[in-house]
A and B are shown apart, each in its own frame.
Chain A
Amino acid sequence: MKTVYLDNNATTCIAPEVRQAMEPYFNEKYGNPSSMHAFGGEIARDIRKAREKVAALINADPSEIIFTSCGTESDNMAIHGCCDLMGPGTKIITSRVEHPAVLGPCRHQREAGFSLFELPVDHQGHLDMDAYRELLKSEGRKLVSIMWANNETGVIFPLKKIAVLAKEAGAIIHTDAVQIAGKLPIDVKKVPVDMLSISGHKIHAPKGIGFLYVRRGTRMKTFMIGGHQESGRRGGTENVPYIVGMGAAAELAMQNIEAEKSKVAHLRDKLEQGLLTTCPDTRVNGDPDARLPNTSNISFEFIEGEAILYHLSDRGICASTGSACAAGSLEPSHVIRAMGVPFTAVHGSVRFSLSRYTTAEEIAYVLSEVPPVIRKLRDLSPFSKDSMPPLEL
């Protein structure tokens, strides 16, 4: 059975060009870039090239890039690195819909004596900007960490405005840009963030590589103490093949950014419109007009997400859900809850996330396979629009 992979916000396939670029570094080019011989020294040049490509993706200077092992490490490095320097008493401002890689370190710092503020979102997933402005007015040191685009709904926050306000208030601002990378242009010359996290495996590089952008002049504490690598900001011999892969993936992402906006968005809309037409009692979560071009988060009312995913999996279709059961927790995703999605639709949310490799045939196949699954589960369900049961609320 053919696999139709519509879970690209979870991870992506490695682009063939990326794999090809990495291959020599597993065999012949195994030198240590710090060595005082040409065999190793050449490798340092290749890392420099990769750093330049990665910097170009976000219009930064190569010296502002720190390679890390993943997006989570980048987020941790940014938040802990700043908190360690700013000291207790600092206010951390974040949102309720952040990825656990940001919420986790922020809540950890709260335990250590920092005050933490998690900004709410409205029913479309937009940040409460008034509450944000109010918080920025307060006295004292402030660290802001707000994502650029949401992984579950694809909703894009107005990061330029958020960053400008933070800088005007004298705050340090970090953004988790993991989901927006490669899908929409990023320009740190126009958006004045101090730090920005990106993960390789969301943009067709392998898992195990990411980077943190740190604007020149931003002070933070190093937590990986060791050698002089990454200008002393992250010790440890460089993950050469993956850094080279990250560079190749960044280059490809730049070349394909227009296709993401046109081709991928077109297929996503086709999928979404098709599902909304063929499946009754279905709604889109998030703001359709301010979303990543590849993401569609749909709630099928009166049925449960894990059951949908298992039936789709039987048909070779990969998607994900914010339902509680799938995560092994008992409450549905914090993002869906923060948005106040109606309780009839909370547990039946399914996220389809496309990539530039998604084809029209695949979307047609999904459109033919999903409606029967939804009907089958609705036939099983004691709930429907017409016969709402006595609720035990």
Chain B
Amino acid sequence: MWDYSDKVMDHFRNPRNVGKIDEPDGSGTVGSLACGDALTLMFQLDENGRISEARFQTFGCASAIASSSALTEMLIGKSIEEAEKITNRDIADFLGGLPDQKMHCSVMGREALEMAIHNYRTGETVMKQLDDHIVCTCFGISENEIRRIVIENNITNIEDVTNYCKAGGGCGMCRSDIQKIIDKVQEERSHKPAPAVPTQPRPLTNLQKIKMIEEVVEREIRPRLQKDGGDIDLIDIVGNQVIIAFRGMCAGCQSSAFTRHDFIEAKLREFVASDIVVTEEGKED
């Protein structure tokens, strides 16, 4: 038996939102009897443009039924723009994961959703794929679909492509073509710089913080002070409080309070953490 999560079994045993909507705002069908699974997804919007009702009919295994049921639950209350962002991973995650060989069930959900949104926007019932050719003729999977699966799920081998979209799982004749697509995506990835990760304030360990403060002092602060014949010593770091002592020309300088606050503290806040407070040894702030 498959190692299905409790949530998969719950949605399989008690599927939510089964059936049709008489006049749906959007409707999409993917899959077929011959392929072994198929899903019809329908939704209706309320006056604010949010999905008020989502219904499904599924022909397929336990995880196909569970994925469809989960998708309808995820859709209700969302705007079209929000619904559009749902990926096959989101569906699998909602269910507490799916066995690898069953990931194609979550992909079927995402495809039906795209189809239904396309239907809502254009009134069409099929999506025309231009500049796309069928790679897997057994299951009718195109190059663009395989590329997308590979990119979105970070896939590196043929078996996973088959698990996620069935391509290559029939006669197997297209497996070398699938490998070429994987290779190409990986090559593109290695040439492309890693996507810029927004610098988010993340909690530092104390050791990391101390090390960073020392580095910033050496690199950014001390050289400037030394230029003016001054210097500082790091005395202690307690939580977000950095205790320093001025040396040389800085010691007793009239504008040392300005230097401490507008220069040293500003630099440490810029490079280490935004909540750093710099105080001078033996002086109340």
A contacts, CB < 8 Å to B: 302-307, 310-311, 313-314, 323-326, 328-332, 343-344, 346-347, 379-383, 389-393
Contacts and interface: CB of A to CB of B under 8 A. Distances in A.
Interface of B: 1-2, 9, 12-13, 15, 18, 29, 31-34, 36-40, 57-65, 101-102, 138-140, 162, 166, 169-170
A226 B135 CA distance: 51
Given A307-B60, A389-B29, A391-B33, A382 B38 contact: yes
A344 B169 contact: no
Contacts of A313: 1
Contacts of B139: 330
A137 B12 CA distance: 54
Given A304-B60, A326-B61, A347 B32 contact: no
24 contacts: A303-B59, A304-B36, A304-B59, A304-B64, A305-B61, A307-B64, A307-B65, A323-B61, A324-B36, A325-B61, A331-B170, A332-B36, A343-B33, A347-B36, A382-B38, A382-B40, A382-B59, A383-B33, A389-B32, A389-B38, A391-B32, A391-B34, A392-B140, A393-B32
Contacts of B59: 302-304, 347, 380-383
Given A383-B38, A383-B59, A302 B33 contact: yes
Which among B36, B37, B39, B101 has the greatest number of chain A C-beta atoms within 10 A? B36
Main secondary structure on B side of the interface with A: mixed
B57 A381 contact: yes
A380 B61 contact: no
Main secondary structure on A side of the interface with B: loop
Contacts of A383: 33, 38, 59
Nearest to A310: B62
A305 B170 CA distance: 19
Contacts of B33: 302, 343-344, 347, 383, 389, 391
A323 B36 contact: yes
B61 A381 contact: no
A331 B169 contact: yes
A390 B32 CA distance: 9
A330 B34 CA distance: 11
A314 B36 CA distance: 23
Contact of A307 (B34, B61, B166): B61
A382 to B, nearest CB: 4
Contact of B62 (A307, A332, A381): A307
A290 B62 CA distance: 34
Contacts of B65: 307, 380
A117 B166 CA distance: 29
A325 B65 CA distance: 12
A131 to B, nearest CB: 22
Contacts of A314: 13
A379 B61 CA distance: 14
Given A304-B61, A326-B61, A380 B15 contact: yes
B34 A343 contact: yes
B68 to A, nearest CB: 9
A328 B162 CA distance: 11
